[in-house]
Amino acid sequence: MMEGSVLIGVLMAWSVIAIGASSPGPAVMAIIGTALERGRGPATILALGVISGSAIWGTLAAAGLATVLARYGQALIVLKVIGGLYLLWFAWRSLRTARSDAPPPRATGITARGTGRTWWTGLAIHLTNPKGVFGWMATIAVGMTPDTPGWVVIIIVVGGVTISAFFHVGYALLFSTERAAQLYERARRPIQYAFAAVFGVAGLHLLKAPLERTTP
């Protein structure tokens, strides 16, 4: 059974993944555009490609961080600073989107035909987006301390990929109807404000420890 502090760290890490996976970005907008233009099937295949990319980034980030953190405790401080600044940047971007009069541009759809090409398109969208690797780095940093057992990283990654699958496939299913897209446009501002608040709190949480260590 997990200790209380370990469980809280895992839940916080999963929360960051949930907000990141549900936040409108290149991958999500491509899934939405494909769902509206080509239907549920192609959008789901595209989502599976995105999920595969998320699994790759998560595995690589976890493997690298586990090795570094096992040897250098100070590396976690650097990681928390990078992750915290990244999350604060994402909070600012969400806030800017919420305050904008123009909604974020929608993807025009994926023109590639065939299951394989659609899956590869989703994979490429995620692997070429820096948000993927930095998001996973921030996620693992939230859920770990220098004393956290290595198996906890596996739980964070497996759970995170599952959460990513839930949201990305969910978008493919949800936005297969025009009605759903219209409802999202109406609720865009409060949703983006919520994203900004959650990312802001998570970012400040990451920066709290490094700031306390440098304060005399």
Q: What is the pLDDT of residue 146?
A: 66
Q: What is the pLDDT of residue 162?
A: 95
Q: What is the pLDDT of residue 111?
A: 46
Parent domain of 68:
4-15+25-211
Q: What is the pLDDT of residue 70?
A: 55
Whether 125 is in a domain gets the answer yes
Q: What is the pLDDT of residue 166?
A: 96
Sequence-ordered list of residues with C-beta below 8 angstroms from that of 86, at least 6 positions apart, any chain: 134, 135, 137, 138, 203
In the chain (216 residues long), the average pLDDT of successive 10-residue segments reads: 72 86 79 78 92 89 66 68 78 81 51 73 78 76 73 88 94 83 74 79 76 54
Whether 163 is in a domain gets the answer yes
Query: Residue 181 CA to chain centroid, in angstroms?
Result: 21
Q: What is the pLDDT of residue 108?
A: 41
Whether 216 is in a domain gets the answer no
The 3 state secondary structure assigned to the chain is CCCHHHHHHHHHHHHHHHHHHHCCCHHHHHHHHHHHHHCHHHHHHHHHHHHHHHHHHHHHHHHHHHHHHHHCCHHHHHHHHHHHHHHHHHHHHHHHHHHCCCCCCCCCCCCCCCHHHHHHHHHHHHHCCHHHHHHHHHHHHHHCCCCCCHHHHHHHHHHHHHHHHHHHHHHHHHCCCHHHHHHHHHCHHHHHHHHHHHHHHHHHHHHHHHHHHHCC
Whether 128 is in a domain gets the answer yes
Whether 20 is in a domain gets the answer no
Domain total of the chain? 1
Closest Cα partner for 9 from 202, 146, 142, 149? 142
Whether 126 is in a domain gets the answer yes
Q: What is the pLDDT of residue 167?
A: 94
